Structure formats: structure tokens, C-alpha cells
Amino acid sequence: MEKTTIKDYNNGLETKDSLSKVKAVDGSGNDILVNPGIVVQSGGCGRYTPDERVSQSKWYRIALGRYGNVPHAVLLMVGNYYNSEVPSSQLLYIHADGYSDRQSIVQLANSGRVISKARILYQASTANGPMLDIFIRTAKTNQLTLSYSCNMNTLLSNPIEVPEEPDAGYSSKLFKRGNRRRNYNTGFHFKYRHSAPTIIVCHINIVACVNFILIRLLIKYNIISSIIVFESLYIWMALLRML
């Protein structure tokens, strides 16, 4: 009788059952084919479609951390069913813990926006882990689909509506979409304002141009001489060098 090890047997089935099963490794290091549900239950990846619908312009809590002293990280895809708005999806990288200020939500890609803001609530505690809230952008009410992978210590849950004010005792880090410049640390957008020196330089340049045009007109009609023109330009150049 020919002896066949579990490893050899499963390697032989790898292509035959590849459409219905996935390859995994058992406790002895052997390759095995298992139902995808087993991998999902292990916490590594999965898809979750809550029954409850979510409403526009409201905050919902969708994930909890286990403890404050461990890293929580996950790749999360947030999508919506076609109820009140066409389907869209956003892919996010999320990291949180309770003892640093490195909480982050990075938008890696999107086909439209299901959420417009998100926040991480955290506290320096070994007992209480961080929490993830999202702010719904889609019109009226929609049903969410949450798909995740590379999950580390993050527990997804049914969306629970929460107030706009963060929970007492927790620090809150907000990530939102603004108008202009992209913030690559958060993946969302934020409003970008020019610094004071930049505004001053722009203002001086505009005034200098207007002044030059007026002087040219005055020279054309023989009101002032060209010497005054050079003196005026010299003054403007000196001001610019001072900034």
C-alpha cells in the first residue's frame, strides 16, 4: 500500500479544488485546503454586511480595539449598496493604539465617497482599546458593506450611531476631506492656507505691478520722468529682499 502524507495529498488537490477552497497551513506546518470561512473566522480577512441601514450626516462606530497597549491595524474597504445612491467604495489603511499620537487613516483608493470623515478615539489604557467612527456622506439611507484584510487586533461590529461629541475620557483624532492640498499622512484632504510671509510677498508683487503700469502711463503722457521710475522699482526690489 502506498503511503501518502497529508501535505502531498493537499498539494495534489491544490488546482482541482482551488475554486471552492483556499490554501492554508496547519499547526504542523503542512499545506491544507480549507473553507474560506475558517480563514475569515481567524480574524485575518473577511466581509461583513450589516442589516441595519446608515443615515447621511451621522456618526457610526464600526470597529473596536482589544487593548490600548497593542497595535491595531487593518485594510478596510467601505462600500454601499445601491439604495439611495449609486454604489461606491473606499479603501483605507487604519492604525491605532492607546499610547502614541500616530493614529492614522490613509485613503489608498476610492471609486466615490461613502464616508467624508472618520475619527479614532483612544486612551492610555491596557483595558480599553481604540474605537473607529465614520461619518456617512451618501444620500439619505444606505446599507454598508465592510471588507477587511491584514487585520491585527481589530474587531468589526454592527454600525452603532454615536453622538458628534467624542466619548468622555478618550482623546480623538479626526480625519476629514477639505478643499485643496492632499495630506498624505491621513489620506484625506485638508484646507491649505498660505503662510503670512507668502501673503505679504504676493501682495507686494501685485502692488508693484500696478505701480509699474501707472508709472508707464505717466511717462507716456510726460507727467513724470524715467528717473522716478527707476527709483520706484529700486524701492520695491529692496522690500522684496527684506522678506
What tens digit of pLDDT does each residue of 52-99 get?
A: 899 999 999 999 998 999 999 999 999 999 888 899 999 999 999 999
Q: Are 165 and 73 in contact (CB under 8 A)?
A: no
The predicted structure's pLDDT at residue 84:
82
Residue range 152-166: average pLDDT? 92
Neighbours of 177 (CB within 10 A): 20
Q: Are 190 and 183 in contact (CB under 8 A)?
A: yes
Taking CA atoms, 91 is separated from 149, 182, 222, 228, 232, in Å, by 11, 16, 67, 62, 56
User: How many Å apart are CA 20 and CA 112, to the nearest integer?
Assistant: 31
Q: Are 144 and 160 in contact (CB under 8 A)?
A: no
Choice among 118-132, 136-150, 180-194 with the minimum mean pLDDT: 180-194
Amino acid at 223: I
The predicted structure's pLDDT at residue 224:
57
160 or 49: which leads in pLDDT: 160
